[in-house]
Chains A and B, each alone.
Chain A
Amino acid sequence: GAGVSQSPSNKVTEKGKDVELRCDPISGHTALYWYRQSLGQGLEFLIYFQGNSAPDKSGLPSDRFSAERTGGSVSTLTIQRTQQEDSAVYLCASSLEVRNPTDTQYFGPGTRLTVL
């Protein structure tokens, strides 16, 4: 079946502009995760959703970052007033559900964000 999809694949924006990144999880997966991969910080967790609620937002680096998920499916990560340090690859992952034992997370291809 189809994997996790993300759009756009690449985004170049100017400092100070807002951007929206989209993630479409694997069909039937209720848990959705956002990570960021940058040269200086490696792979960092940002936020996860179980259904439409976000029990853990601890990884969001500032209040310029927000995410939502509607209908238990597609999620949007929004970065307001982008800064150059926001440049990174933003990865989305989904898993069947958040439970014990932890389900495996499957990743999308990522969105490469460049802030000029």
Chain B
Amino acid sequence: AQKVTQAQTEISVVEKEDVTLDCVYETRDTTYYLFWYKQPPSGELVFLIRRNSFDEQNEISGRYSWNFQKSTSSFNFTITASQVVDSAVYFCALSTRTDKLIFGTGTRLQVFP
């Protein structure tokens, strides 16, 4: 079975705090892809990052960083120095051979000024 778990339903932080969103995945496939999407209040899903299962290098993009650990089946997302504009629902997703995305239930992040 393939599954994505985002245990944190909602997180609230104050601006400039760092915040980490957790994602744990399950799959028996050896080739798979992991994604993070952001859904702001406007509703549109915005692509943030894609990683494949053969590349465990962590990635940093500005204030965003991602930690992929196959040993714990986790693909966590950290926002450094959070800003109000980061307020959104963040989804972690998995795809394998069939290409359809399997989404977690999302984490709602609220950043207060």
Which positions in A face B, CB cutoff 8 Å? 31, 33, 35, 42-43, 45, 48, 56, 59, 89, 91, 93, 98, 100-102, 104-110
Contacts and interface: CB of A to CB of B under 8 A. Distances in A.
A98 B99 contact: yes
Given A91-B45, A100-B97, 16 more contacts: A33-B101, A42-B103, A42-B105, A43-B93, A43-B101, A48-B99, A48-B100, A56-B98, A89-B43, A102-B95, A102-B99, A105-B47, A106-B47, A107-B37, A107-B44, A107-B46
B33 interface: yes
Contact of A105 (B42, B52, B101): B101
Nearest to A110: B43
Nearest to B52: A101
The residue among B42, B43, B45, B47 with the most chain A CB atoms within 10 A of its own CB is B45
Contacts of A48: 99-100
A98 B106 CA distance: 25
B102 A45 contact: yes
B12 interface: no
| Chain A interface mostly | strand
A43 B91 contact: yes
A110 B100 contact: no
Q: Chain B, interface size: which category?
A: 20 to 34
B73 interface: no
Given A108-B44, A109-B42, A110-B44, A35 B101 contact: yes
Nearest to A59: B100
A65 B50 CA distance: 30
Nearest to B6: A42
3 A-B pairs with least C-beta separation: A107-B45, A43-B103, A45-B100
